[in-house]
Amino acid sequence: MTRSPTQLDWARAQARAASHFAWPEVRSAHESADPHVAHLAADVARVEHESEARACPTCGCAPASLVWVSIGTSDASWTQGDERCGWLTLCARCMAQVDFFLDTDMVNERRRGNW
Ligand SMILES: [Zn+2]
């Protein structure tokens, strides 16, 4: 089975609230991800967070059908103690940021300089 990358309408996203991350950050995280690795990692994240993940509040799209983007704040934020990285769920239909799940393992790895 081949899965084509979900097409996201970034121009439309600009009109939406950037509730968790700025849209340019979301776009760059999504576009820089290796599609094969990203799909596998996203499957793991979906299972891990399925009990907390919400459906899109606008169209009701189920969490499993949302786009899961692995994302972290910029390098600068890490020296300011404002670091966050984890999983952002996006509704491709509404271009809405639904949930963000902090990945504490990922944060700790990055603090140790393993990124
Ligand atoms: Zn939606």
pLDDT digits (tens, 9 = 90+) for 64-103: 999 999 998 777 666 777 778 899 999 999 999 999 999 8
3 within some domain: no
* Residues 7-34 pLDDT 10s: 899 999 988 999 999 999 999 999 998 8
Identify the three-state secondary structure at position 71.
Answer: strand
**Ligand 1 centre from 44 Cα, in Å?**
22
What is the number of structural domains in the chain? 1
The domain of 32 spans 15-111
**Ligand 1 centre from 98 Cα, in Å?**
9
Cα distances (Å, whole numbers) of residue 92 to 36, 57, 96, 106, 108 = 19, 13, 7, 25, 30
pTM of the model: 0.84
8 within some domain: no
SS3 annotation, 29-57: HHHHCCHHHHHHHHHHHHHHHCCCCCCCC
Residue (of 3, 1, 66, 5) closest to 33 by Cα position? 5
